Structures are given as structure tokens and as C-alpha cells.
Amino acid sequence: MESRDYLVRAMLGANQARVIALRTTQVVAEAQKVHGTSPVATAALGRTLTMGLVLGAMLKTDETLTIQIKGDGPLGGIVVAANSRGHVKGYVNNPQVELPLNAAGKLAVGQAVGRGYLHVIRDMGLKEPYYGTVPLQTGEIGDDFAYYFAVSEQSPSAVMLGVLVGRDGAPLGSGGIVVQLLPDAASHQEFISGLEQRLGGMNQVSSLFAEGRTPEEIVTEVFAGLEIRFLDRQDVQFLCDCSRERFARGLVTLGAAELRQLADKGEPVEVVCHFCNKRYIFSLEDLDTLLQELGNTGA
């Protein structure tokens, strides 16, 4: 049984569609452990972390991206950051939100998220990052990203995301499959119909990954009968790159006046990383050192 999280890329047909399939059970388990999320918050954050990794896999080497889901539901909002190396991190504003199951007996992710907007911010190393914004369609995350791909990137896509949460709150299975039609597919209605038929008949993604099947096995099963060519695979993980040095630079950007106000309180300053809950303590001596640096730079 495959236990590691990873992502695979494949082509379908005569290069008529591309597929990204990934297992994110350990990624979501780590996020749940770090943030102590309730089942519905775990599902919402887990689906968004999965999409962060999908979008990250589409980036060039040194690019990064941030997903912001700002809804009016009790979850508050979701923030996820990812890079091209298979690293992702994220958090929700209200990790302890509890809601009854929806009418279909599923976790009420759409209700938890509510109405609002999905923002994708890509930092491509230019002066200004790229912003893509669309209104949330259902708050279920998968539907919202399918709409984002269609509107913001003009790429017709099917997005299947799922997180199966156990009674103890930890994920039993998590992953996703994203299928994007390529320009060649437009003139092949038979291929598109076959694709729709297979996607319509597939089991829930979370269940497939909870059964321990690999991304390759799932893609092969779902798209049986179509030509499949696997391109590559990439390990993925929940990883926060915060550091004491980064937070020190953040304190410096406050400016000398605000930093002096903090120092004058006569107490150490504690800062907490939203993404991983790691705490950093800056003593009065540390603050004085930062103030001296500001003085030397003339800030």
C-alpha cells in the first residue's frame, strides 16, 4: 500500500487533455495536527491545500503562489501558499468551526465557506504579481477552481477534490484529480464525450485514496480505454519555510518608531506563524539590536 504523498502528470488521448492526480493524505494530516481543525475545516483546508499543489505544479521553477478564499461563512477564510517544488502550507481563520452534515450527509464545506471570492496570486519574480479573482460558485472548492480555470485561464477543466475524515478528526484519505482539455480536443467530440462519461461514473476521490491506491492506479482505472501517457511524478508535503530571521525582517519593516514603542513596553515580543503556529520570542536585547540596525541604515 502506497503511503507517501505525491503527484503525477499524464496526457490523455493524442495529447488532447492533461491530468494531474495527487495523494495528499499526509499533507492534510499534518495540517490538521498543526491547526487542530474540526472535520469540516479539515475538509475545506485539505481541498485547498490539494489545489495549491496542483497550481504549484504548473509554476516555473522559482515562482510561488498564494490562494485566498474569502467567504462570508463561519470558516472565515482560507489562505494557502505553494511553490513549484511540491511544498504547501495553509490555514483557516476559524479552525474549530462545527456544522451539521449537509442534506447529502456530507461535511458542509460550502456552508462553512459561504459566498465570496477566490483569489489566486502568482509571484513570477516581476515587479507586480499576477492576480486572478473569481466569485465563489458553491464554496465546495472543486467547483470554484473549475470556474477559475474556465474564466481566469480560459482552460476548460474538471476538478475532483476530496478529503475523507475519520471519527477522530484525522483524514483517512485525501487527494485530487484535475483534467484540462488542450486545444486539440475541441475538434474531437467523441474524446470529450468519453472523458465526461468516465468522470461522471467515477467514485469519490477521497474514497479512492482512502483505499490506498496510488495516483497512477486511480488514473488508469478512471480513464480505462483511453490512451494514457504518464510524464513524471513529484513528492509533495506540508512544509512551512518560516524562520526567526524572516520574522526579524518583518519587525524591522515596522519602522523605528513602532519598534521603539514595542521595546518601551519592557517585555519580550512574541510572534506566531499563521501557517505552522511556530512561536518566536524576541527579547528586549533583540529589539535593541534591530533598532540599532535601523539606525545604521537611516530608516
Angle, helix 244-252 to helix 284-297, in steps of 10 degrees? 60
Burial 98-122 (b: 16+ CB within 10 A, else e): ebeeeeeeebbbbbbbbebebbbeb
Whether 182 shows a pLDDT value over 80: the answer reads yes
How far is Cα of residue 188 from the mean position of the Cα atoms in its chain? 32
- Residue range 244-297 forms a domain whose CATH class is alpha beta
Per-residue cell: 71: 467567504
pLDDT confidence of residue 223? 92
Summarize the confidence of residues 119-128 as an average pLDDT: 88
| Cα–Cα distance, 232 to 217 (Å, whole number) | 14
Q: 32 with 172: CB under 8 angstroms?
A: no
Summarize the confidence of residues 71-94 as an average pLDDT: 97
Whether 105 shows a pLDDT value over 50: the answer reads yes
Per-residue cell: 188: 474531437
pLDDT in tens, 57-76: 999 888 999 999 999 999 99
Whether 235 shows a pLDDT value over 90: the answer reads yes
pLDDT confidence of residue 194? 79
Summarize the confidence of residues 134-138 as an average pLDDT: 97
| Cα–Cα distance, 236 to 56 (Å, whole number) | 10
pLDDT confidence of residue 296? 54
Work out the pLDDT band at 299, boundaries 50, 70, 90.
very low
Per-residue cell: 100: 451539521
Domain 6-238 architecture = 3-Layer(bab) Sandwich (3.55)
Considering the entire predicted model, what is its pTM? 0.91
Q: Where are the domains of the chain?
A: 6-238, 244-297
